[in-house]
Homo-oligomer: A and B are copies of this chain.
Amino acid sequence: MLKGIPSILSPELLKVLCEMGHSDRLVISDGNFPAESMGKDSIVIRLDGHGVPEVLEAVLKVFPLDEYIDEPVSLMEVVPGDPVETPIWDTYEKIVLKYDKRGKEAIGHIERFSFYDQAKTAYTIIATGERALYANIMLQKGVVQPEEQ
Q: How far is the CA of A33 from the CA of B7 in the complex (A)?
A: 13
Q: How far is the CA of A21 from the CA of B29 in the complex (A)?
A: 11
Is A22's CB within 8 Å of the partner chain B?
yes
A130 to B, closest residue via Cβ: B7
How many residues of A sit at the interface, in one of the four size bands? 35 or more
Interface centre among A1, A31, A123, A129 (most CB of B within 10 A): A1
* 19 cross-chain CB contacts under 8 A: A1-B32, A1-B129, A2-B17, A9-B18, A9-B48, A10-B48, A11-B14, A11-B18, A12-B15, A12-B46, A14-B15, A15-B15, A19-B35, A20-B34, A20-B37, A22-B34, A24-B37, A36-B123, A47-B48
Chain A interface residues (CB < 8 Å from chain B): 1-24, 31-38, 46-50, 54, 58, 61-64, 123, 129, 131, 141, 143-144, 146, 148-149
Contact B49 A54 (CB under 8 A): yes
Contact B14 A22 (CB under 8 A): no
Interface centre among A11, A15, A46, A48 (most CB of B within 10 A): A48
Q: How far is the CA of A6 from the CA of B62 in the complex (A)?
A: 11
Contact A31 B144 (CB under 8 A): yes
Contact A24 B34 (CB under 8 A): yes
Smallest CB separation, A45 vs chain B (Å): 10
